[in-house]
Structure 1
Amino acid sequence: MSAPTPPPEAPAERLLARTVLVLALGVGAALRVWTALTDDGIYWPDEVFQSLEPAHRLVFGYGMQAWEFIEGARNWALPALVAVLLKLSALVGLEGPRGYLGVTRGAFGLLGAATAWGSYRLARAHGASALASAAGASLFALASVPLYFAPRAMSENASAPAVVLGLALALAPGASRRAGVAGASLLGLAVLLRLQNGVFCVGLLAVLVARRDWRAAREALAVLAAWAFLFGLLDRLTWGRWFHSALVYLDFNLVQGKAAAWGTAPFSYYGRVLLRSMGAVTGVALGLSLLAARRAPGLLGVAFAFFVLHALQPHKELRFLVPVLPLFAALAGVGLDAVLRHLPPSPVRLALPLAVVAVAGFSGMRAGLLTFGDLGQYEDVKPQASAWDDSGAINRLLITAGRLPDVCGLKVEAVHLAWTGGYSYFHRDVPLYAHNGPARESGRYSHVLTLSGAVGNGERVASEGPFALVRLPNTRCAPDPAWSSRLP
């Protein structure tokens, strides 16, 4: 089966397509990097303690340990990737938090722009014109939700470009053997970074079998089996048991159902939150994706399977859908092309793709107004609070504390330690205590990060918003054999 051949494009349409793609990717990349360098906030602790903090521990020798990296519920692929960025930053002289965090978050932001380009390639692989493909890609490049999540060091962001480019290569009708092997390899890497991406691997094999493309199916299965071996080997080398992280993770989430402790939501959650956070983009992407059913039934089925399987899980977070959003952007490009093929050359033929880009751009312009309620996070606690720079003040004070020459221990009284940047921002090899740690009179730490109204008899060193960094009087930090780096 070969991909439909796009009709010849007029020079003006080719120029417009190139312009739309370059602007969408360029503006999207610029916004992502700008956010990476200006927002110190936290959406959810995983973006620190599943990536930055274990990577910091690998490179610098100290860092808080979440339960997942004590019991082995995560593999070390993502922290290793982040550790490479931290090490490279240190080698070029950017060894402070502002340096290595800027490099890391900027790199993740650029991965988001690369993911949008993957949407373009995936649409083109299914026969969409360059203009329709570029317009579809803009729905990921410029929309508010992908912009918000992009710089965060999460497995969803790290794996999304591998998912979309892998499917662009392996799922394209008439793909060559080399493309099929490369695509399956990218999907194997995506699973190594995030276990849930195994849905895409199963989907790929199902589509190839449905097409009766037995050669491609056998080769894809062999490649994915090799990546599965690497997954198991990584766990064997790091945790001491084959597939240890997958087994512990699945037992925790599916057998024991403990993820429900972080909240549950009904099946309708994702649809409701997507409509709230970027309603126009969601409506356009969904409508155009359905129009792609005839041209790209396999891709549409894989995307919907991923969505439905996540909607069926009790615990839900909008970030879990990040790997599938570029697929719907690509499908939108294919659906848009199906519409354009029925239109004669006219201004309307050019206006429709531009309207899609405008919808994406308007969503991006409103990204700064996103609240946690819009993103479906903390809906019962602070739904009206801005989703941007949450905990940013705390993290900037952590950076300040790490630079003090006399700090020999720090207690964070103001918030739970999980909602801070940990040692990734503090970057000082001294004890870091949680709010329920030893009392100030214990002499175990020299500074506290507290609320401005709780300075007490200490000396205010710095403050931002409702928080203050305070030096305690006459404290030299007595050794504490009971201190643990485990995240409470």
Structure 2
Amino acid sequence: MPTVPTPAPTAGAPLLAASTEPRLARALLGAVLVAGAAFRIHWALNDEGMYWPDEVYQSLEPAHRLVYGYGLVAWEFIEGARNWVLPGLVAGVLGLARLFGGTEPGVYLDVTKVFFGLVGVASAWGSWRLARAHGASELAAAAGAALFALAAVPIYFAPRALSENASALPVVLGLALALPKGASRRALGAGASLLGLAVLLRLQNGIFCVGLLGVLAAQRRWRPAGEALAVLAGWALAYGLLDWLTWGRWFHSALVYLDFNVLRDGASAWGTAPFSYYGRVLFKGMGAVSLLAGALALLAARRAPGLLAVAALFFVLHALQPHKELRFLVPVLPLFAALAAVGLDSVLEGLGARTPRAMAALAVVAVATASGLGAGRLTFGDVGQYEDSRPRVSAWDDSGDVNRLLLAASERRDLCGLKIEVAHLAWTGGYSYLHQPVPLYSHNGPSRESGLYSHVITVPEHAPGEVVARSGPLVLARLRDGCAPDPGYAWRLP
């Protein structure tokens, strides 16, 4: 019987055996996600610090009010500049913890931080899914996912209860479902719905919705564009209805937010930065990852032009805004990781042979892993915060000593009022950490002689009476037994 010749591989086709590469790719993806989860859980359980007050007063504190009935109220929740989706999500986590007995702040705060960290891991899987939807091989997609799962900057932000973290997952999954040319009607509807949800979590994610519609229109996919527009319109209606139910006016939070940030440029009061800010800070915070991801993303221009355009649009529009914070880019980082995977796949196709392909993918993962291992060395200068005042101070555990003493105060049965003499309340964990419905005063609050509080958080040399807890250079001290009533106490964040 004549021997049937084995067909020669086509140019650029992978030579790694079909039974080998998928196993390697799946093992690599699993390892990346497990390591990403380990990094995030470690920092969730070992950092009580703050990057910016929003991670408490736009999420944890209003959620605490929903679940436990009290908490400080930021101006956004007085004037209605935020909707209630993010606090509602966090309240769901707090409520679930409460259902299972987690009513102590040390418990429900850890649960919340771990939850947000795992959302970040799911977003890394979303990068893998988005890369696969644009034709990347499993091996390239797994390596690309590492650029989000294991990189220092995403790890730093991951455990924080911020709208950027919560919305990154529906953004990346929504585009993975809706953006590919072969998307079914069901996938398109689900993807557009996820993007609509992302807008409810963070208004700026509307850029992704506009980007999706723009790509569909540019590809002359008019029917999918119309269907996506109809779904997004439904979510816009839900946004307006929620505001009407909670604030009494259709789209109230969006209108107040846009008036403050766009018409009045109110956010510039917290600082401005030039167009180059994001590129500079990303390079400082994770230089090798940023250079590698950027170069590979450019290689994806031919195979994923729509995705690249959407990601670039989000980046450029944020770079054009005067007030900048690195966290604002978190929703787009999984997209750049997916683009890097698509670009890497083009590189792997050129390598062809089994060993170079595997080594190239592992090299990308190694770069990301090195970044994640160095995350503990991040300073505020590396994450673009407080650059003019304390750029060399560690970005981790800022205000952590105050927050640990708030946790200690939460266990004091003799507590009837507390003053934090060393910090403004905005840079503390508030009632989310204190978890007692007693007056809480800022550094510029009533004097000790007022009798309105029984305990103070201060420095040891100024500590009166009995020191009952210590954390770093600070102490929790008891002034007196009992407190005078304060009928004028306001729950508004000063």
Partner of 1:487: 493
Output one character per residue of 1:342-361: Cα deviation in whole Å (capped at 9) or x when no partner.
22224212211111101000
Kept in 2, the 8 Å contact 1:397–1:464? The answer is yes
Q: 1:207 to 1:413 in 2, by over 3 A?
A: same
Partner of 1:80: 88
- In 1, the alpha carbon distance for the partners of 2:223 and 2:44 equals 43
SS of structure 2 residue aligned to 1:323: helix
Q: 1:329 to 1:357 in 2, by over 3 A?
A: same
Kept in 2, the 8 Å contact 1:52–1:79? The answer is yes
Kept in 1, the 8 Å contact 2:135–2:342? The answer is yes
Matched, 1:435 2:457: no
Kept in 2, the 8 Å contact 1:6–1:128? The answer is no
- In 1, the alpha carbon distance for the partners of 2:192 and 2:493 equals 37
1:185 partner amino acid? S
Aligned match for 1:275, one of 266, 271, 283: 283
Query: Per-residue deviation at 1:463?
Result: 1.2
Partner of 2:135: 127
Aligned length: 482
1:357 partner amino acid? V
Partner of 1:334: 342
Output one character per residue of 1:31-55: Cα deviation in whole Å (capped at 9) or x when no partner.
1112111111101000000000000
Map 1:308-319 → 2, pairs under 5 A: 308-319=316-327
- In 2, the alpha carbon distance for the partners of 1:452 and 1:273 equals 37
- In 2, the alpha carbon distance for the partners of 1:349 and 1:145 equals 27
2:226 partner amino acid? R
Aligned match for 2:55, one of 9, 29, 47: 47
SS of structure 2 residue aligned to 1:74: coil
Aligned match for 2:148, one of 140, 147, 170: 140
Output one character per residue of 1:226-277: Cα deviation in whole Å (capped at 9) or x when no partner.
0000000010000000000000000001100110110000000000000000
Partner of 1:34: 42
Query: Per-residue deviation at 1:458?
Result: 2.3
Partner of 2:9: none
Matched, 1:383 2:391: yes
Map 1:157-236 → 2, pairs under 5 A: 157-236=165-244
Query: Per-residue deviation at 1:12?
Result: 2.1
Partner of 1:95: 103
Kept in 1, the 8 Å contact 2:15–2:353? The answer is no
SS of structure 1 residue aligned to 2:358: helix
SS of structure 1 residue aligned to 2:86: helix
Matched, 1:469 2:473: no
Query: Per-residue deviation at 1:8?
Result: 8.0
Aligned match for 1:411, one of 399, 416, 419: 419
Moved over 3 A (4+): 5-9
- In 2, the alpha carbon distance for the partners of 1:60 and 1:188 equals 29
Q: Percent identity?
A: 69
Q: 1:244 to 1:8 in 2, by over 3 A?
A: farther
Query: Per-residue deviation at 1:9?
Result: 5.6
- In 2, the alpha carbon distance for the partners of 1:258 and 1:174 equals 43
- In 2, the alpha carbon distance for the partners of 1:103 and 1:346 equals 43
Kept in 2, the 8 Å contact 1:343–1:349? The answer is yes
Partner of 2:309: 301
Q: 1:342 to 1:24 in 2, by over 3 A?
A: same
2:179 partner amino acid? L
Moved more, 383-392 or 177-186: 383-392
- In 2, the alpha carbon distance for the partners of 1:163 and 1:346 equals 34
Output one character per residue of 1:127-166: Cα deviation in whole Å (capped at 9) or x when no partner.
0000000000000000000011001000000000000000
Matched, 1:150 2:158: yes
- In 2, the alpha carbon distance for the partners of 1:7 and 1:65 equals 58
SS of structure 1 residue aligned to 2:370: helix
RMSD of aligned alpha carbons: 1.2
For structure 1, the residue ranges without an aligned partner over 5 or more in a row are: none
For structure 2, the residue ranges without an aligned partner over 5 or more in a row are: 1-11
Query: Per-residue deviation at 1:481?
Result: 1.4
Query: Per-residue deviation at 1:167?
Result: 0.2
Query: Per-residue deviation at 1:7?
Result: 5.9
Kept in 2, the 8 Å contact 1:7–1:129? The answer is no
Aligned match for 2:119, one of 88, 111, 129: 111
- In 1, the alpha carbon distance for the partners of 2:358 and 2:157 equals 31
Q: 1:472 to 1:260 in 2, by over 3 A?
A: same
Output one character per residue of 1:347-396: Cα deviation in whole Å (capped at 9) or x when no partner.
21221111110100000010010000100101111111111111111111
Q: State the TM-score, normalizing by the size of structure 2.
A: 0.96
Kept in 2, the 8 Å contact 1:125–1:173? The answer is no
SS of structure 2 residue aligned to 1:324: helix
1:437 partner amino acid? G
Matched, 1:321 2:329: yes
Aligned match for 2:366, one of 358, 364, 382: 358
Moved more, 285-294 or 14-23: 14-23
2:484 partner amino acid? A
Query: Per-residue deviation at 1:185?
Result: 0.3
Partner of 1:458: 465
